[in-house]
Every structure is written in C-alpha cells, then in structure tokens.
Structure 1
Amino acid sequence: MKKYIILLIIFCFASLKAQELKAFQFYNQNGREIKTEKLIKKLADFDVVLFGEYHNNSMIHWLEFKIAEELYKQKEGKLILGAEMFERDNQTQLNQYLNGKILAKNLKDSVRLWNNYETDYRPIVDFAKEKNLEFIASNIPRKYASLVAKNGLESLNSLSENEKKWIAKLPISVSLETPGYEGMKKMMAEHSGDKAMNFVSAQATKDATMAESIFNNLKTDYTFLHFNGDYHSKEFGGIYWYLRQKYPNLKIAVISIFESENPELLLPTKDFKLTDFNLVIPSDMTKTY
C-alpha cells in the first residue's frame, strides 16, 4: 500500500510538471534559448532593433513594453522609440501629446490611431511620455500606399512637394530580391492578375519610408527600438533590407515571431528562417481583436 501511495505521488508531481505552461521563449540565431536578461544586454549593442509583432497578440505587446522599459535602463535613457502604427504626417500631434501640450482625448481626435491603440500601444507611448523619449511616427500615410496599390509606383510622382515629404525619397527602388516580395507577388497574382506588382510596390513604400524615418532619427550611442508587423522585417526583408541597402554599416537586429501549439514552445523545424532573435509564443494566447 505504501509503495502504491509513493508511486501515486510521483505520478501526480510528474503530471503537474507536464502541465506547466510557458508564456514565451526567445531563441538566438543559432537556435539556442536565450534568457530575456541576456537578450536586453545584446539589444543594447545595436543601433536599430526591429521588433516584429502580430498586431493582435497580447503577449507580444506586453513583451514590447517590458523590453522598452529594460532597454531604457540598460542604455541609461539613450533610447528612441518608433512604430509602424503612426504615420509621418501625424508626428506633430504625437509630439504635442508627448510634451504634454494636448490630452489623450485630443490625440485620439487628431491622429489616425489603430483600433487597438488603447490596449496595445498606448502603454508604450505613455512610457515614452513619462521618460521624455522621442517616439517616431515612421510609416507612410496610408492614403499614399493605397494610391500605389491602385495605380502603381509612378502615381507618387504626381504628388505635391509637400506631400512627398511624408514618403521616402523618390524614386523608391522595388526589387523582388527583397525577402518576402516574390511570395507576395505570387499570392496577389491569384487575386489581382497583372496588378500584383502594385501591391508589392505599396508594401515597398511602407518599408522604405519606415527605414528612412528610422535612419533620419538615429543618434550616436542611442538604440532605436522600432515596432512593426512581423512581415515588415521577417527573414531580414522589408525595413531591414532597405536600411541595409542604403546604410550597410548600421548594426541592426531583427526580432521575429512564431506561434506554436507545442507547450514547450520549441522552434519550428521548417518554413521559418531564423533572424537575430526569435520569439515563440503560444498560438492560443489572448488576442485583442
């Protein structure tokens, strides 16, 4: 009987251990697990960090906020923040909020905020405000990206000089050598035929504009932490590609994302190219929309 009880206890502890939950796991480019503390120290050595995200994932947004906090400490305040979620022509209003000249409700009325701003992005913006950090609205205004998707890259040439300042310097080079663009063209060709390249070009205007926005706001000894959809930097494409083409000496790190059903959050064995740092999260993590 005693032996049976001991075996039962061992079984129960084993079952509990098997049911332990992991919320996230970082890996380096060699596929080895890396602790968050060590990750922060390594990120502090880069000029630019491109943090890819899934826009509706609560865990990622929490990690973005915590990494911004810790990187701020590691860099002794020498940190610049920026995000795809804010468009260049809204920088003035964003600055007014950061400087305490307008209230949160005024920002909401004057800036094209994403629907999940309050839950997912405001904590980071308010952190920048509290610490007196720059927060760069890096993206192209969406109406110009939509114009390219509809009428092609050449349509940007007809814009006024005032409008062109919200876009990366023209002409913008679009190459299918950029990781992800060839796949996007093939995917869009199934729906839009010979207009597929317009959608690739629209993506390129976003990536090139964000890359230029980042570079134009760099400071010596600072780290620029930029938040963007994973597709804008995965596999060293998108923003990374444009930064690297024009500014090859920059030290740039990419954080890529993968959702997994595996409770141990192991790295995927296929269809995933490792970047500098790789975040694996549970696929059933709470979504904000």
Structure 2
Amino acid sequence: MGDPQNPYPLKAAPKVGDIMHLPTGVLVTPEQMLSIATDARVVYVGETHDNPASHRLELDVLKAMEERHPGKTALGMEMFVRSQQPVLDRWVAGKLDEKAFLKESHWFDNWKMDFGYYRDLLIYAKEHHIPVVALNAEKDLAQAVGSTPLEELSPEMKARLPEMDLGDPYQRGMAESIFAGHSHGKLVMDGFVRAQTLWDETMAESAARFLASPQGKDRHLVVIAGGNHVAHGFGIPRRVFRRIPTSYVTIGGNEIAITRKEEPEIMDVDLPDYPNLSYDFLNFLAYEELPETGVRLGIAYEPGPDKRGMQVQSVLPDSNAERAGVKEGDLLLTLDGEPLKETIDLVYGLKQKKVGEKSTLGVERDGKKLTLEVTFQKTEKVHQHGKP
C-alpha cells in the first residue's frame, strides 16, 4: 500500500519554498514547521554541504530555537572534531576574531569548504553566546577504523572508540549502494561502513554527552550534519536516542531546481527503498551558488623557505598579479603591510577586498625588497589549487 517513504504524496508537483510534513503529506509554512520543531529537545538538520539554501535553513532553525528557548540553545556541528572544542569555546566567548578562528581551528585543513557557507551560522552563535559542540571523530581514528578491522586496532585506538553498532541494515544498504558498480571490493566497502558508523556513533555520543552534562542538561540542541547522517534516522538520530531517549525532529532538503551557473557534481547512486520516512519535514530547495566574495591575485604559490612569505610558482596571464608586475620566483612577504606567514594570511586578506580596490604587495626578488601596487579587476574563476 503506497510508498513508506512518501505515504501521502502531493497531488501537484512541489515548488521551491514548499515544505512538506512527510508523515501526513500536509504542506506547512516555515512558521508552522519551526513552531513544531522547537517543541523537541533535539532538531537534526540534514544539509547539502555546498548549497547556501541548506545553510539558511539551518540558521532559521537555530534562530527559532533560540527565540523559543532564549539562553537554553546549543548548536552541534559535524564540521568540527572534538579536539577543536577549546577553539569553539573561545569563539563563542568572543575571544577570537574570524581570522584567528580560522587559523586556530585549521578550518581549511579540516573541513576544506568555503567558510562563507557557515559564517552566518557561527556568527549568530557567537553573538548570542550559544555553545557550539564539536561532534565528529578525529581524522587519525577515522583513517585507522576505515583501514583496519576493529579487533585488529591497537589498544590505544580501541580505547578511543565510541560504542559501535555495526549491525544497522539501512546504513549497510546505503554503503553498498554508493559502492555499487565500483571495483573496490568487499574489504574496502567494509572499511567504509566502519568509518561511516564511527562518524555517526561519535557524533551521537558527543551530542548525548552534551545533553546529559551540567552545561547541556537544560538546553535544546540543533544538530547540523550531511544528509546521509540524518536522513531516515539510522545515522545520528537513532544512535543518540539509544544513549539518551528524548524528543527529536528531523528536517531536510530536496533540491528540485538548479540556479547556480555551474552544474553540480551528481553521484550516480541508486539508493535502497528504505521502509521509513526520510525526514519529518522536507524543504523543497533550489541548488544555489555561494555569492562570490573577495578578489583574485592570479598566482600559483607555495609557502616560502623558513616560513617566510609565499613563493610564487607561476603567474596567470592577464591576471591582477601580472598587471602589478609580480614575477615567477618572487617571494610575497606582506599584503597591505600584514605579514604573509601562512596560506590563510593571503587567502583571507584577498577575501576582504573588492573589485576596484588597491593593495600593496611587499615582495622580495633576487634578494631585493620591492613594493608593488595592485588594482583588483574582475577576473574569471580558475579552478586550480593554490591560485588565489
């Protein structure tokens, strides 16, 4: 009788902006969804990492939760591993500016996504003193679990494991679907299942520990994570409930239109027919593009010798760098007087600039120090690593 994932299908095709309550098939307003969701102790929002519409939805949920329960809200994020918790605490306490936060959290090394996707969410948390909880497992543990059966792990690694339930058939079904048609072999797939389980169990353990802690026992928690960690409930939600039974609501998105200039990468995956709903509330979204900020210099580079500046490997033709007189082999030492000690100093500095503005580059060339002036013009986006 019907489809268990969509028991009450809509009579007309959904439009961008529609919100469907999947258990009933009823379309609701954002206000109705948020009023119902904020009744719960935990709200899980499954995101598409590179869709700004997903992140606006997350911010709307967090704002609604804070307005409903002022001073009693917290935010759990997949994007941070547990060892980053002290940095998150300093951020929320107002002890770090954005650049210092990006440096200390090693954002671009750990998550590798444009910070612009998450900036508004994290700034809101900071401005409202909302605790941000680092949920995820450390990378070295995930790598070990993905490559080694649990019983063969070292005692030190075993001691760091959360309680692991590897028997969920729906998670294995998802993994097998993703690996279908690829010649990775069973051992690799088993490793993927172990790693996926580690991520979900660690995030669930982190969330449950916070909810049971003195800091979190009276708070409502908004958890944001990739859709595969939330959809159908077998990832994080079920594993949190196993540890601390409490009320929860799941919210997700379905991109039904593409508004970005570049076609998104789409995986050719035939997922199983799960016997349960994907979310409590399904938001029909457009697949958007993150508005571009900053300017481009147009160089390939690497950190300079002895951690001094950025060594120019090549200069793109007709780029801002070429027009300013930057040459291959130059050592960029400063941008507007600010030392360039690591990559983020250059990347972050360029992100703050606008087309039409000027900057000065402190350059060392053949042992001589020069000052070059660059006027930033609009340039085409180049998808090549290390070319800001």
Q: What band does the TM-score fall into relative to the shorter chain?
A: 0.7 to 0.9
Name whichever structure is richer in strand by fraction.
2
Residue in structure 2 matched with residue 132 of structure 1 by the alignment: 129
Residue in structure 2 matched with residue 61 of structure 1 by the alignment: 55
Residue in structure 2 matched with residue 176 of structure 1 by the alignment: 168
Residue in structure 2 matched with residue 244 of structure 1 by the alignment: 241
Instruction: Answer whether contact 2:20 2:28 (CA < 8 A) is retained.
Output: yes
Q: 1:186 to 1:38 in 2, by over 3 A?
A: closer
Post-superposition offset of 1:287: 5.4
RMSD: 2.7
* Higher RCO (CA 8 Å, separation ≥ 6 residues): 1
Residue in structure 2 matched with residue 210 of structure 1 by the alignment: 203
Q: 1:183 to 1:70 in 2, by over 3 A?
A: closer
Aligned length: 255
Residue in structure 1 matched with residue 3 of structure 2 by the alignment: none
Post-superposition offset of 1:160: 5.8
Say yes or no: does 1:286 pair with 2:286.
Answer: no
Residue in structure 1 matched with residue 20 of structure 2 by the alignment: 27
Write the distance in 1 (CA, Å) between the matches of 2:248 and 2:88: 26
Determine which of 12, 35, 46 is the counterpart of 1:52: 46
Instruction: Answer whether contact 1:153 1:202 (CA < 8 A) is retained.
Output: no
Write the distance in 1 (CA, Å) between the matches of 2:258 and 2:129: 40
Q: Which amino acid aligns with 1:279?
A: N
Residue in structure 2 matched with residue 232 of structure 1 by the alignment: 229
Residue in structure 2 matched with residue 185 of structure 1 by the alignment: 176
Q: Which runs of 5+ in 1 are unaligned?
A: 1-20, 264-269
Q: Which amino acid aligns with 1:137?
A: A
Q: 1:185 to 1:158 in 2, by over 3 A?
A: farther
Instruction: Answer whether contact 2:46 2:253 (CA < 8 A) is retained.
Output: yes
Instruction: Answer whether contact 1:185 1:199 (CA < 8 A) is retained.
Output: no
Tell which structure's C-alpha radius of gyration is larger: 2
Q: 1:211 to 1:60 in 2, by over 3 A?
A: same
Write the distance in 1 (CA, Å) between the matches of 2:174 and 2:43: 25
Q: 1:99 to 1:209 in 2, by over 3 A?
A: same
Instruction: Answer whether contact 1:140 1:209 (CA < 8 A) is retained.
Output: yes
Residue in structure 2 matched with residue 110 of structure 1 by the alignment: 104
Write the distance in 2 (CA, Å) between the matches of 1:125 and 1:45: 23
Listed one character per residue, the Cα deviations across residues 97-134 of structure 1 (whole Å, up to 9, x for unaligned) are 22122332222122132333521112111111111111
Identity %, equivalent residues? 24
Q: Which amino acid aligns with 1:73?
A: E
Write the distance in 2 (CA, Å) between the matches of 1:271 and 1:57: 25
Write the distance in 1 (CA, Å) between the matches of 2:51 and 2:226: 11
Say yes or no: does 1:256 pair with 2:255.
Answer: no
Listed one character per residue, the Cα deviations across residues 168-210 of structure 1 (whole Å, up to 9, x for unaligned) are 2x4x121132x33223135436432121111101000000010
Q: TM-score, normalised by structure 1?
A: 0.79
Q: 1:61 to 1:186 in 2, by over 3 A?
A: closer
Post-superposition offset of 1:154: 3.4
Residue in structure 2 matched with residue 16 of structure 1 by the alignment: none
Say yes or no: does 1:89 pair with 2:83.
Answer: yes
Residue in structure 2 matched with residue 276 of structure 1 by the alignment: 280
Q: Which runs of 5+ in 2 are unaligned?
A: 1-13, 260-271, 292-382, 384-388
Say yes or no: does 1:143 pair with 2:144.
Answer: no
Write the distance in 2 (CA, Å) between the matches of 1:61 and 1:121: 7
Residue in structure 2 matched with residue 10 of structure 1 by the alignment: none
Name whichever structure is richer in helix by fraction.
1
Write the distance in 2 (CA, Å) between the matches of 1:42 and 1:60: 19
Write the distance in 1 (CA, Å) between the matches of 2:288 and 2:64: 23
Determine which of 193, 199, 216 is the counterpart of 1:200: 193
Q: 1:160 to 1:193 in 2, by over 3 A?
A: closer
Write the distance in 1 (CA, Å) between the matches of 2:103 and 2:82: 16
Q: TM-score, normalised by structure 2?
A: 0.60
Listed one character per residue, the Cα deviations across residues 216-244 of structure 1 (whole Å, up to 9, x for unaligned) are 11134421001000000111111012123
Instruction: Answer whether contact 1:153 1:198 (CA < 8 A) is retained.
Output: no
Q: 1:31 to 1:286 in 2, by over 3 A?
A: farther
